[in-house]
Amino acid sequence: MENLDLTSVPLHVTGHLAPVPDEIDAVDLPVEGALPPELVGRLLRNGPNPLPGEPSKHWLSGHGMVHGIRLEAGRARWYRNRWVRTSALQGKEYMGPDGTIDLTAIEANTSVIAHAGKILTLIEAGFPYEITPELETLGSNDFGGRLTTAMTAHPKADPRTGELHFFGYAATAPFVTYHKLSAAGELVTSAPIDVPGPTMMHDFAITEQHAVFLDLPMTFNPQRIGHPLPYDWDESYGARIGVMPLDRPGQVRWYDVDPAYVFHVGNAHTDPAGRVVLDAARYAGEDAALAWTGIGDPSASTGIPWHPDPAGPGVAAARTGKARLHRWVLDPTTGRVTETTLDDRGIEFPTLDDDRVGRLARYRYAVSGGDLHATAIVKLDAEAGVVAEHALGRDVVAGEAVFVPSAASGRAEDDGWLLSVVNRRDGRGSKLLVLDATDVGGKPVASVTLPRRVPTGFHGSWITDEELDRS
């Protein structure tokens, strides 16, 4: 890596980020330690993977590829990987000659979820694509023709009702639209959300009573058309957080906040006083633009916490910041907002126990970059301010940590495991790491050696057999 000519080789196609050239299957994977017998299901992870020989301008671009690991009876039964066979993979352009957007011709490369017995691969610029439990593509899904906008890659499932809340955003009006799927997978609600312009809204939150929208100053720039991320920091746009009662779709109360950007939300809840409490990984000011829009430019600092600056850590510290776990408390009685940084370390990809989505939750899990050389999986205690860290060392890169609850009756919130695909930074191998969520800093419960490198990608889900029986 140190001898790479970064003027000619984009960093995002080297080492642990480099795409793989094919699809493979492997069975009976080697396990070190003991996989908990309760882990019966699939860990699926999505990310961009250009076809062999296909140019890649940016880490965020590339056809979606889902990597799957099947665990059962204390064994790692199989690994397989498959490209999501979108129209884009077949060579179809997403924009027609008349300027219309084909929402089936987007790469579906950001996340993968299960809802109503179906597995959906997602990207915020297009329609979801459905795949089988064996990762074969079934086709795009517009929920019976009712979905007419793109779908966020970060929908939120209400753990009590089973409903799936999501939104889509666009460069033309209506700029943001809220949607809701029933527990059975029927699109039952769509409502435009009034925002002043073409904002980039990557994620949002729900509480038991509300949807929470982040209308922040990263806006569409027509001069960047053709770039995988055609958005720029524009502080004149303003920064607001909107609270919408779930029983009044489209009716949003906005709260002005300090300029910042959020790619990934931790969680939200409504407290006993009726205030909405939102936690997220917050970039201060245009650090977000530096952190994400420059990815793929060899001369630019990435700012990504798990990915060191090619120009050296001194340069990175001088011109980029990190996302930090931040809290906003929105008071509907006074109209006031309180902002607090919960922890000063740089984090990204916050996750939590899905049973606590929209409810009071004590713990968040995230990837931390340390000093730009070390990487770690961290557990943050929102009540006590305590942090537990599982340090991986400078040669290992952690992927998003997915929480899997134990089946114990009356279990504690953190009674379960964290699953993360980790890579050697030089790209020479990958493992599935299983940590005890009650003892994140301790020795791994188990690790599974994967038959190939899994490129560091984006988001994944633990999907149980029970979830797939709900169709």
| pLDDT given for residue 89 in this prediction | 95
| pLDDT given for residue 149 in this prediction | 98
Nearest to 66 by CA among 54, 51, 49: 49
Q: Look at residue 12 and tell me whether its pLDDT is greater than 90.
A: no
Cα 97 to Cα 100, 102, 106, 220, 328: the distances in Å are 7, 11, 16, 21, 44
pLDDT one-digit tens code per residue, 121-176: 999 999 999 999 999 999 999 999 999 999 999 999 999 999 999 999 999 999 99
Number of domain units in the chain: 1
Please check whether residue 3 lies inside any domain of the structure: no
Q: Look at residue 315 and tell me whether its pLDDT is greater than 60.
A: no
Q: Cβ(448)–Cβ(69) under 8 Å?
A: yes
| E strand residue ranges, 342-410 | 347-351, 363-368, 376-381, 387-391, 396-398, 402-405
Please check whether residue 437 lies inside any domain of the structure: yes
Please check whether residue 322 lies inside any domain of the structure: yes
What are the φ and ψ backbone dihedral angles of 437, each rounded to 5 degrees?
Answer: -65, -20
Please check whether residue 2 lies inside any domain of the structure: no
- Pairwise CA distance, residues 83 & 65, whole Å: 4
Please check whether residue 4 lies inside any domain of the structure: no
Please check whether residue 38 lies inside any domain of the structure: yes
pLDDT one-digit tens code per residue, 189-211: 999 999 999 999 999 999 999 99
Domain that residue 270 falls in: 11-468
Q: At which residue do the structure tokens 């919960």 appear?
A: 342
Please check whether residue 276 lies inside any domain of the structure: yes
SS3 content of the chain, % helix, strand, coil (to 5): 5, 40, 55
Q: Look at residue 316 and tell me whether its pLDDT is greater than 70.
A: no
pLDDT one-digit tens code per residue, 223-254: 888 777 788 889 899 999 999 999 999 999 99
Alpha helices in 344-460 (DSSP H): none
Mean pLDDT of 71-97: 94
**Vertex 9, ends 226 and 21: CA angle to 5°?**
80
Residue predicted with more confidence, 471 or 382 = 382
Please check whether residue 462 lies inside any domain of the structure: yes
How far out from the chain centre does Cα 410 lie?
Answer: 29
Which residues are 303's β-sheet partners?
Answer: none
Q: Does residue 264 have a known ligand-binding role?
A: yes
Residue predicted with more confidence, 303 or 213 = 213
Give residue 56's pLDDT band: very low, low, confident or very high (50, 70, 90): confident
Residue predicted with more confidence, 383 or 269 = 269
Residue predicted with more confidence, 364 or 2 = 364
Mean pLDDT of 321-345: 94
| pLDDT given for residue 6 in this prediction | 41
Q: Does residue 373 have a known ligand-binding role?
A: no
CATH number where 192 lies: 2.120.10.30
Q: Look at residue 319 and tell me whether its pLDDT is greater than 50.
A: no
Tokens of 109: 């490369």
Cα 149 to Cα 189, 200, 220, 252: the distances in Å are 13, 14, 17, 19
Across all residues in the chain, what is the average pLDDT? 89
Q: Look at residue 290 and tell me whether its pLDDT is greater than 80.
A: no
